Every structure is written in structure tokens, then in C-alpha cells.
Structure 1
Amino acid sequence: MTARRRAAAAVAAALLAAGCGSGADPSSTEEDARMFTNPVVATDAPDPQAIRVGDTWYLFHTNSGGRNVPVLTSPDLVDWTEAGDALPALPDWADAGRTWAPEAIELAAGRYLLYYTVADRASGRQCVGRAVADRPQGPYRDDSTGPLVCQPELGGSIDASPWRDADGSLWLLWKNDGNAIGVDTWLWSQRLSPDGLQLVGEPAKLLRQTEPWEGTLIEGPFFHRQDGRLYLFFAANAYDRADYAEGYAICDGPAGPCRKAEENPILRTNDVAAGPGHASLVVSGGRTWLLYHAWPPGQEGSADPGRQVWLDEVVWTDGRPVVKGPTATPQPRP
């Protein structure tokens, strides 16, 4: 039984004890079952990204609980069950303990790639690796002899995000970790080979921190096409502060140029969640949803409960993504 289901059972028991069971309207129970309340993962699960394979969603997040890449499964994006470690063994060139922001993509039936940030022993920086599996939950294996992307002179490379365009081309987004050494943080893109294992051509600089709300950094990029337009979403500011937030830009193509939206940030701290960001976007039942992490208000930077996973709908208004969140009241399930 998942933690959410245990919590639901406890609430039901409390209602019965209060005499609210036998006389309850059955329709209200059915209505409650169609609703959910954030957070959907109440434990520490930073930098969430999810893919759907068949009828199951697979969510990957930054290392926790002794696992390099924790993976959870769900039938509906709401009720999540732990499913082990997607990357139980790191490559020989990497050190454990800082395996961050993993993202997976399905290239074909029985072929899945995972891109992840890891501590590169040779450079002493965080760099990007890639691993392959024949099942979405793994185990993924990285047989490389070194990082896919590193940029040690720019502070390292983190927050890789794979993306397939409408023409079938594969691309990789990432951030140079400039804030680690006091230089600019750029979001980069570069084309991937068809097998997803190598970069092709030259990288393109897309955006860097320029706006007051972004502080000293931007990070956590991902692409999304909506009605033919290419959107680049990103997080900005210090991850352990209430100033952390989510914004977006519109790009002419995967190699840019990109223009930041005037209404940024589109997801920010409110009275129910602090420091929301490092998101990923999913589509279910014709609706668009944002998965992101956030702290309980006033607990930014704390280890318990840490950064929880939230799910809120995105609606598209005149070509602009509008996030209905952060929310902490019941809303219809995806």
C-alpha cells in the first residue's frame, strides 16, 4: 500500500469513528475518489521527471535513500509506489553521492535511455552521463569511459534533458554549472545521434540568467511543443530558497534563438508551497500537467520532508502556459 493510500485509509477510519460512515452519501465517496490533493509524493524526491510506457507512469528523481536514481511507478500520476533504483551501479569514472536530476526517454520498444548528473572523478565537477535499459524502470547501465558532457572550465554540466522533435531528431538540453565557480549559467542544446549515445555537431547557447527574479542562475531546462510552437521551460534562483521559481521562453528552434516570457515567473512561492521549480511536463487525457518539486512553507533547505513532488495543471491561454498552482486543495485527477 502506498503512503497516500495509507493516509486515505486513516482519514476514512477517523470519519467512521466520528460517526460519519454509515450515513454518508455514497456519491460523496465516489467524488472524493476522483479528486487528489498535493503533494503527490510527500517524501524527498527532488527534480522529478516522468514518462509513460503503456498504462504506467515512471518517475525518476535525484538521489535519496541510498539510491542513485530512485524510480516510482503510478497508474495515474497521483498514487506513486517506490520501484527501486533505476541506476544501481555507476560507471567506473563516477563517484556516488551526487547523482542528480535524471531524465529518461523511450527511443523504441525495449530501448530506453537515462541522462543523469553525476560526480566525475577526473575533473572534480558534476558532469552528464547516459545509461541504457530494456525496461523503463531499469536497471540502466552506463558502459561509457567518461562523461557525455562535462565543461569543467565552466563549472561542470548538469540537469540534462532529452527531447525528440516532431521531425524525429533527438536533442539534449543541459546547464553549465557556472554558479559553482562564480560565472554565468547558460542553458545549452545539442543534437544527439539517433541512438542517443553521442552528441552531434556543435552546442548552442540558448539563455543565461538576466532577470532579477532569476538571481545568479537558471537551470532545469526542458523543451515542449504546443500547437507547433517550441517552449523552453527552466527554473531559476537558489534551490533552497523561497525565491526559486519556474519560467519559460519561446524558441525559434532547438538551437535557438530563444526569448524569455515577460510574465515570468509562471510558478512561484505562495502560502502552500515554497520554492517550486525544476519541473517536467506531461500530457494525460488531453490535459497538460506540470510535475515539480517544492518545500513546505518555511522549511526551505530542510532535509525532512525535503522537496516534495507536486502536480498542477497547465492551461494554454493565447499561446501562454498558465500554471494553476501551487495548489493544496482537492482537484480532479488527470
Structure 2
Amino acid sequence: MSAFTLPLALAALLLATPIAAQEGPRAPVLDADFPDPFVLSTDAGLVAYATNSRKRGKLLNVQMSRSTDGRSWSAAADAMPVAPPWARPGRPDIWAPEAIRIGDRYVMYFSARHATRTRPDGLTLCVGAAVAAAPGGPFVPQAEPLTCGGPLGVIDASPFRDGEDLWLYVKSDGNCCDVPITLVAQRLSADGLSLTGAPATVPGFTNDAAWEGKVVEAPQMVVRDGVYTLFYSANDFGGRAYGTGYALCQSPVGPCQDAPQNPILSSTPGLRGLVGPGHVSVFEREGRTWIAYHGWRRPLTDGGWGQRSMYIDRLDWVDGRPTVAPAR
């Protein structure tokens, strides 16, 4: 019997215990390169997806790892072995995948580098969709992107279910070219495979606070007790200034107001400290709220790239405000 097919009662018992209980500094639950994580809670356990990475000499388009207890995770496999036909061959740059169950199948949204569309600094990033019968894939991408937004492209697609309504958020990639950043919300069709209605720019999603630097990104909307909370990350993803905040919104399309407590997740001092925590995924499991995110396990040195590992902490709600529980 594989770990992923444990009886549901046993899986529930395992997941009822604190996922991130630990002593001393925060430690990753998946100590491998697993950037921009998204965690999907399923009947059989947890499935996490991440930006493309090369493993054992092979490029994984969409990294996927599974867990029954949130602490031990499988080695990464490729949830979308075949890249979308519209993406750049060889190096499609498939980033920040997120998945949602719609009916009896799963739909994944992701960013990828378009093969022919161009912008001032190179090829445009567009958002695509892929479908699978099971959360582990294989996800089969659609023949064309869902949207490329304006001429500069869009990234960080995030689906959101609000009652019977499905929405997709995408971030304009203006930070590529010194153009103001916007967050765009648009309704999805019932099957999640096409956009409907007019896109709406979400007021309040902008880098107007000092800690945010020049970039806000990685949106995820959560509704709890009728309150819309938009989580996001900000600043330079490659350094200690990167962190996570949230905004309270009046509806799925805003307006939104940044929380004065921001950032709620930021780097901690010391050689063993947390570096650049961000691109969060908030999920529910066994009556508790958890927050997954990446952090630099091997910080950048001498201009070289390090490793972004996945961490999971408990997310508490204090007077309606999300608070990341400290490591313990």
C-alpha cells in the first residue's frame, strides 16, 4: 500500500496533528527546490504543486509531491509531463501552478513563456489551463492560453470559488518593464476552462507600502465568515526583503485595503533564519488553517541561485485577522 492510499481514517488521524510542530528555527517540510508552492487538500491527503525545476537531469514542467501528514513528502514527479503547445519549446518557464477540483476532474492554472508573443525584454508570459482526472495528473494542457493580458503578459494565476461562482486572478507583469502592476479578476466558465464576462482591475492591489518595494505578486483570495482576505507577496523574491502580507477586500473584485500588520511573514535573523518567505498557499485541513510558502534554504551567494524549499505553518485567525503561528 502506498502512502497516498492509506485508509481515510488513518490519514485523517495523521493530519489532525500539527503539521509544522517543531523545536527551534523553522525547518522546511520539503527540503528540495520547490518554489511557488500550492497545496491542494484532497480526500486522500495533500498534493503540492510547484514551479518547474530540474531533477536528476530532467526538467519537470510542474513539480508535484504528495503527503498524508503534511510533514513527510514524496520526491517530486511531473504533474504535466507534456508542455502546452503554445509555450516556448525546450524552456517553457512554467511557473506558479494552482489547481482546483471542478466537478469530477481537476483544473490547473499556470504561467508559461509564449513561443511567439514578445515584449521589450523577451517573450511574453501567458496563463494557461490543464485538465486531469486525478489530482496527481497527468494534467493535459489546452491548445491555447486562457489569457495573455495586455502586451506585457500576465502571471501568478489563482482560482477562487465563491459559492457557486468561479473566479481567476492574474497579475499583470508590468514589473518586467517599469509599468504599474495591477491585479485582474475575471469569472470562469462552469467547467473552469474559459474566461467569461469582462476583466476587472482590483482596486488596492498595488505596491504603495515601503516593505513592498517595487513588486506585489502571488495573489490568493480566501473567504472566511463572509470576509474576503487577499494574501500576496511583495518585494524582490531573491532576497531577505521578500515577504507576505494581506489585504481585506469588500468583494472578490475589491476594493481592497492593506492590513496595517503587514508583513505577517518575513525573514528572520541569523544563519539559520528564514529567508524570503513568500508565494503562499492557504488551505484547510481537519478544521485548521495552514499556510504553505517557500523560503531560501540556500540563500543566494556570489550572484548564484540557491534553493527555495517548502515550509508549512499554522495560520490562526485572531479577531478575524490571519496570524502565522510561530515555529515551536
Shorter-chain TM-score range: 0.7 to 0.9
Give the Å deviation of 1:319.
Answer: 1.2
Amino acid paired to 1:160: A
Which is richer in helix? 1
Which residue number in structure 2 is paired with residue 332 of structure 1? Answer: none
The change in CA–CA distance for 1:32 and 1:75 in structure 2 (over 3 A counts) is closer
Please tell me whether the aligned partners of residues 33 and 308 of structure 2 are also in contact (alpha carbons under 8 angstroms): yes
Give the Å deviation of 1:259.
Answer: 1.1
Per-residue CA shift, 1:267-307, capped at 9, x if unaligned? 11112201101000011222211100011375477534x11
Please tell me whether the aligned partners of residues 28 and 312 of structure 2 are also in contact (alpha carbons under 8 angstroms): yes
Q: How many residues align?
A: 292
Amino acid paired to 1:162: P
Distance in 2, Cα, partners of 1:233 & 1:302: 29
Distance in 1, Cα, partners of 2:76 & 2:308: 19
Which residue number in structure 2 is paired with residue 238 of structure 1? Answer: 236
The change in CA–CA distance for 1:158 and 1:32 in structure 2 (over 3 A counts) is closer
Give the 5 Å matches for 1:98-117. 98-109=93-104, 111-117=105-111
Question: Which structure's CA Rg is the greater one?
Answer: 1
Which residue number in structure 2 is paired with residue 303 of structure 1? Answer: 305
Amino acid paired to 1:122: T
Amino acid paired to 2:98: E
Per-residue CA shift, 1:172-192, capped at 9, x if unaligned? 011111111111111221110
Distance in 2, Cα, partners of 1:248 & 1:236: 10
Distance in 2, Cα, partners of 1:35 & 1:245: 22
Give the Å deviation of 1:152.
Answer: 4.2
The change in CA–CA distance for 1:238 and 1:33 in structure 2 (over 3 A counts) is closer
Distance in 1, Cα, partners of 2:96 & 2:325: 24
Give the Å deviation of 1:209.
Answer: 1.4
Which residue number in structure 2 is paired with residue 22 of structure 1? Answer: none
Distance in 2, Cα, partners of 1:260 & 1:72: 33
Per-residue CA shift, 1:144-166, capped at 9, x if unaligned? 2x21121242x21000011111x
Per-residue CA shift, 1:47-94, capped at 9, x if unaligned? 000112212211000001210001000001111002521111112211
Please tell me whether the aligned partners of residues 266 and 277 of structure 2 are also in contact (alpha carbons under 8 angstroms): yes
Q: Pick from 98, 119, 122: which aligns with 2:116?
A: 122
Q: Pick from 42, 46, 56: which aligns with 1:57?
A: 46
Please tell me whether the aligned partners of residues 204 and 256 of structure 1 are also in contact (alpha carbons under 8 angstroms): no
Q: Determine whether 1:260 maps to 2:258.
A: yes
Which residue number in structure 1 is paired with residue 3 of structure 2? Answer: none
Which residue number in structure 1 is paired with residue 66 of structure 2? Answer: 73
Distance in 2, Cα, partners of 1:143 & 1:84: 21
Amino acid paired to 1:170: L
The change in CA–CA distance for 1:267 and 1:302 in structure 2 (over 3 A counts) is farther
The TM-score normalised by the length of structure 2 is 0.84
Please tell me whether the aligned partners of residues 19 and 313 of structure 2 are also in contact (alpha carbons under 8 angstroms): no
Which residue number in structure 2 is paired with residue 158 of structure 1? Answer: 155
Amino acid paired to 1:270: T
Distance in 2, Cα, partners of 1:278 & 1:32: 21
Amino acid paired to 1:117: S
| Unaligned 5+ runs, structure 1 | 1-30, 330-334
